[in-house]
Amino acid sequence: MSERPVVFMFSGQGSQYVGMGRELYDYEANFRKWMDRLDQTFRELTGHSVVERLYPYRESGRKPFEELLFTHAAIFMVEYSLAQTLAERGMIPDYVLGYSMGEFAAGAVAGVMTADDGIRCLVKQAELLQERCVPGGMIAVVGDPGIFESSPPLRQHAELAAVNFRSHFVLSARRESLPVLEQHLLDKGAAFQRLPIPFAFHSSWIDPAAEAFRDFMSTIRVEQPRIPYLSSRRSPRAGMRGAADYWDAVREAVDFPEGLARLEEGRHYTYIDLGPSGTLANFVKYNVSSHRQGDIVAIMTPFGNEMDRIDALCDRIS
């Protein structure tokens, strides 16, 4: 497996949950060091702690984890900290791939921006969305994305936010439209899930925050990536065009199969999902041939055992 180029993948909103990365935080010193360092940056900006929200001393069941200010930063923090943990063990990716706001973690790992600036960007983005955009949400649908084009009720109330594989897509809509969409999908017999996301990412409903966020991004120093940078929304070999490109990361629609197909032209890769839920690993599995499943690895899941997965991965890559 080590002969194939390694792609680190970073997922975005919807993959988060309370306690993600807890085993790593408790037992992996480098992961904990980076989490605490980035949490200090978050504290300085907001007066709050992500770590305290993410790893409460007393947990009562599966608490919802949806408040954007915290989830935005938390996803970035666990993904970046895991990347640094792997780097300490000598595992450096040949490529990084970002999906939606996961592009911030991908960019920081690639050296496009500092990790502290990544936190600053995501805090500002969350604040602007909360101040300027109507509440919304996203619904993942199991089915042919063509359902959207052929369904006037879906087109009337939603926008197509993402296509993840040939039988899975995501809709974005205003909050009040979500029950309408869900009822229509029920009537059609489609399987779906409302994602724990309070805004309609990858849709025109977040446009009111665009100008202010681009203005803020112009204050962030953006470098050329030291590691080739791939995106789930453009030709996968296209690098960042500049600071303003990071608004497009959460605004442009995602076409995961198209990006992956272009990347895979003429060569195969090893895909390592650094997101909290293994979401992108699942997407890749549905987009490549079945004999490639051993080349797709997820480290964090809601079921733990991250330390064992890291050890096994390092043995295979070394």
Residues 130-173: pLDDT tens digits?
999 999 999 999 999 999 999 999 999 999 999 999 999 999 99
H helical segments located in the chain:
22-27, 29-46, 50-54, 68-88, 102-109, 115-132, 146-149, 152-157, 178-187, 210-217, 245-251, 256-263, 279-287, 306-317
What does each C-alpha distance from 128 to 107, 122, 139, 292, 312 come to in angstroms? 21, 10, 22, 41, 41
- Judged by average pLDDT, the poorest of 74-88, 226-240, 301-315 is 226-240
Tell me what the mean pLDDT of segment 260-285 comes to: 90
Residues 39-63: pLDDT tens digits?
999 999 999 999 999 998 655 445 6
**225 with 97: CB under 8 angstroms?**
no
Count Cβ atoms below 10 Å from residue 198 Cβ, excluding itself: 20
What does each C-alpha distance from 46 to 38, 50, 123, 136 come to in angstroms? 12, 10, 8, 23
Tell me what the mean pLDDT of segment 272-286 comes to: 94
Tell me what the mean pLDDT of segment 6-19 comes to: 93
Residue 229 has pLDDT above 90, yes or no: no
**198 with 136: CB under 8 angstroms?**
yes
Total residues belonging to the chain: 318
Fold of 6-133+203-317: Malonyl-Coenzyme A Acyl Carrier Protein; domain 2 (3.40.366)
68 in helix, strand or coil? helix
Q: What is the pLDDT of residue 173?
A: 98
Q: Which of 81, 100, 177, 203 is catalytic?
A: 100
Angle, alpha carbons 95-34-123 (nearest 5°): 85
Tell me what the mean pLDDT of segment 213-226 comes to: 93
Count Cβ atoms below 10 Å from residue 55 Cβ, excluding itself: 17
**256 with 285: CB under 8 angstroms?**
no
Angle, alpha carbons 147-149-155 (nearest 5°): 105
d(CA 202, CA 279): 18
171 in helix, strand or coil? strand
- Judged by average pLDDT, the poorest of 92-106, 135-149, 183-197, 276-290 is 276-290
d(CA 109, CA 125): 19
Task: Decide if 289 is catalytic.
Answer: no
Residue 258 has pLDDT above 50, yes or no: yes
Tell me what the mean pLDDT of segment 229-234 comes to: 78
**50 with 42: CB under 8 angstroms?**
yes
d(CA 298, CA 29): 20
Q: What is the pLDDT of residue 311?
A: 87
For the chain, the straight-line distance linking the first and the last C-alpha, in angstroms and rounded, comes to 9
Residue 32 has pLDDT above 70, yes or no: yes
Q: What is the pLDDT of residue 291?
A: 55
What is the token pair recorded at 102?
């996961």
Residue 208 has pLDDT above 90, yes or no: yes
Q: What is the pLDDT of residue 59?
A: 55
Q: What is the pLDDT of residue 290?
A: 62
Residues 87-116: pLDDT tens digits?
999 999 999 999 999 999 999 999 999 999
d(CA 105, CA 281): 17
Q: What is the pLDDT of residue 134?
A: 97
Query: Could you tell me the pLDDT band of residue 285, with boundaries at 50, 70 and 90?
Result: very high
Q: What is the pLDDT of residue 315?
A: 78
Q: What is the pLDDT of residue 241?
A: 55
- Mean residue pLDDT of the chain comes to 90
